[in-house]
A = this chain, B = another copy of it.
Amino acid sequence: MKSFFYPENVVVIGVSEKPTNMGQMIVQNLIRGGFPGQVHAVGPSGGVIMGRPIRKSVKDIIFPLDLAVIMTPAVTIPLLMRECGEAGIRRIVIESAGFSEFSDDRKGLEQELLDVAKEFDIRFVGPNCIGVLNMENGLLTPFVPLEGNPIPGTVSVLSQSGGVALSYMDYLRFEALHSNKVTSMGNKLNVDESDLLEYLVNEDKGTEIICMYLEGFSNATRLMQIARQSRKPIILHKSGIGKSGAAMAASHTAALASDDKVVDAALAQAGIIRVRSTAQMMNYVRIFKLPPMKGRSLAIVSRSGGHGVIAADTAELNGFVLPPFPKEELARIREHVRGGIINLQNPMDLGDLFDLSIYEDVAQMILSNSQIDGMILVHTYGEAESEESHHLIKIIKELSEKHGKPVALCLMVDDQERAYLKQNFDFPIFKTPEYAANALKASRKLYMYRQKQIDFIPFEKQIDMDAAQQIVDKAVKKNRNPSQAECFDILKLYGLPVPAYQWVQSKAEAVTAATEIGMPIVLKVDVPAIIHKSDVGGVVLNLKTPEAVGAAFDALENKLHDLMGPADRFAALVMEQVVVDGKEVILGVNQDETFGPTLLFGLGGVFAEFLKDVSLRVVPLNRNEVMGMIQEVKGFKALTGARGQKPVDLDVLADNLLSLAQLARDFTQIKEIDLNPVLVNYEGAWVLDVRFLL
């Protein structure tokens, strides 16, 4: 990827002398941006642009060429790419639109691009993008005019949308945060977000923070793997969550929308900070310029009581606590405070102080206190105090660095002063205490993620994979879902706790099985075509005698024949009736189109029925993550021994979820797995019903 950002030279293809020509703008941007290498221009009409000849073809350029930028009608591109390939170019940026984002019948054209790329070992960005930018060397390839000179910062941008890429760049510039490398990825036909992220995370020295905007994922599993290892904060705005948004995203860059809850879970597992707006994105960039917020203890200092109250409120809403300050320290501060009218506590209201040096003392006291993890300082001033306030900001910056703790500085000043501060202080300034607290929460979240992040532990149980494979293959071959007995067989192979059961095809077998298992038993229809057994009355509980079992078998068989005709071979499951007290939970798997196997956990009963109270995680996952998903559901307290009951054995529950996760990884052809209900209590767990859909 590095050669996209640091080419020796660039050839722009699609340049003419016409004033509305977009290729022209690319050449202008490169030259005005101060790109130090050669910039060549190619276009069929020839001519001259900014003193350079426009060659009719790349073949007419005798120098070795490094990077091509193409902005010509879509249909012309395969041939132009081929010419590039023959001229030895291995990196291309295709900005032209008119591919799959425009119409499905352009998929063939996209395939041509891929074929040429393969033939010549070319990597290309786009199509349907505004290109690649590197502020370090002035490599500016967009076809729209850019404002301002490139000033390299430490924030790199990967965006599916060109418009959003430009506005991130603009916002970063307005905030004097500045971008480093910016890529508009467009349709991501060849180079995708994972390719670029891997480069920015692992190789690129100029990048310290990564901002991403995506409408769909190209290879979500790879993206997660890269992010999990990243030491650089990754902030992502993933859009396209609503219906209309998804419709436009599809037409815009042919994005594949995935279920938003799965996206949330997967990003959290990968340590990617998700934002919902551009404002939040910029706010988080600010906080990641500061040392991390390592704990929950926050100090708040403000010049107005009201702002202190607002800051304290919002800090608590974001999960922080405000410990009291040590009395002896406060006594020292109090000496400086006129009249003693103000209560020194946390939040601290320094009131109508005129000597700003007290702020320095206070900040020193707070940041050197090992009980405090970070600070919000709300300050407001007019012109008369601007010099003193600028000095204060300098000191605060030094103290924050010295103690390795974040100080979120909220300055309530006018636009002009704010602009001055942005340009002259390399220290982030937050708009309001609400933004500051929310950003500190993100900082802490990422810090915590990295602290507790552990590797996956290989699955320990020995599974007879061949036996499981045979069962699945049999169902696949017959083009049906596995029977309940087959599901239970597979669950048993994976060590999941299944009550005793036998698969029977006759009344006699049923009675024998019931006797062997021991009554009472449950009798269930077990014909793969019937997915919702209860709906057809296909489950009979609490059968206590051989006679009852026999009668129930006959009744079920007759009912099924009434329903499906006599041709269907009837079979049933005789199962031990579990008579322990416990809570009903649901364990499930869904093969997500984007993220692959996804694990689901929830409580049964009203929790599932009315509240959709479930948690999700993408597989693979470790025990920590499984415990997290159990604790995340709203009804979790119902498992911890409310009303004098013994708490459920969470370790057993976690084991079962991990086993199910392994099954989901091993057999991705099983699209859905429902273990519903699973009964759990302090002694163990029992899978009472199961369903696999292929």
Contacts and interface: CB of A to CB of B under 8 A. Distances in A.
B102 A341 contact: yes
B167 A434 contact: no
A431 to B, nearest CB: 7
**Residue among A161, A383, A419 with max Cβ neighbours from chain B (10 Å):** A161
Interface string A164-206: 1111001101100000000000000000000000000000000
A349 B242 contact: no
B147 A382 contact: yes
Interface string A239-257: 1111111011101110000
Interface stretch (A399-407, A476-484, A571-579, A602-610): A602-610
A309 interface: yes
Contact of A248 (B278, B279, B312, B637): B312
A467 to B, nearest CB: 39
B606 A242 contact: no
A562 to B, nearest CB: 21
B244 A380 contact: no
A108 to B, nearest CB: 18
Interface in A131-181: 144-145, 147, 159-167, 170-171, 173-174
Interface string A305-349: 111111011111100011000000000000000000101011101
Residue among A162, A306, A312 having the largest count of chain B Cβ atoms under 10 Å: A306
B611 A315 contact: no
Given A345-B251, A634-B610, A634-B611, A304 B162 contact: yes
Contacts of A503: none
A316 B244 contact: yes
A432 B635 contact: no
A563 interface: no
A171 B418 CA distance: 13
Nearest to A418: B415
A248 B308 contact: yes
Contacts of A159: 306
| A163, A609, A634, most chain B CB atoms within 10 A | A163
A25 to B, nearest CB: 11
A412 interface: yes
Given A278-B310, A309-B245, A606 B164 contact: no
B382 A279 contact: no
A382 B315 contact: no
Contacts of A167: 304, 307, 380, 412
A165 B307 CA distance: 10
A412 B170 contact: yes
Given A164-B307, A248-B347, A240 B147 contact: no
A53 interface: no
A638 B606 CA distance: 8
A581 interface: no
Given A248-B345, A343-B251, A642-B610, A306 B162 contact: yes
A97 interface: yes
B607 A253 contact: no
A164 B242 contact: no
Nearest to A383: B147
A341 B20 CA distance: 17
Interface string A503-536: 0000000000000000000000000000000000
Contacts of A307: 161, 163-164, 167
Contact of A161 (B97, B309, B341): B309
Interface in A223-246: 237, 239-245
Contacts of A383: 147
A304 B345 CA distance: 49
A451 B605 CA distance: 39
Given A277-B432, A606-B635, 5 more contacts: A163-B302, A163-B303, A167-B304, A277-B314, A610-B635
**6 smallest beta-carbon distances between A and B, as pairs:** A163-B304, A161-B306, A242-B316, A252-B305, A164-B306, A245-B312
10 contacts: A161-B305, A161-B307, A161-B309, A164-B306, A165-B306, A167-B307, A242-B315, A248-B309, A252-B306, A277-B310
Interface of A: 20, 97-98, 102, 144-145, 147, 159-167, 170-171, 173-174, 213, 215, 237, 239-245, 247-249, 251-253, 276-279, 300, 302-310, 312-317, 321-322, 341, 343, 345-347, 349, 352, 354, 380, 382-384, 412, 414-415, 418-419, 431-432, 434-435, 605-607, 609-611, 634-635, 637-638, 642-643
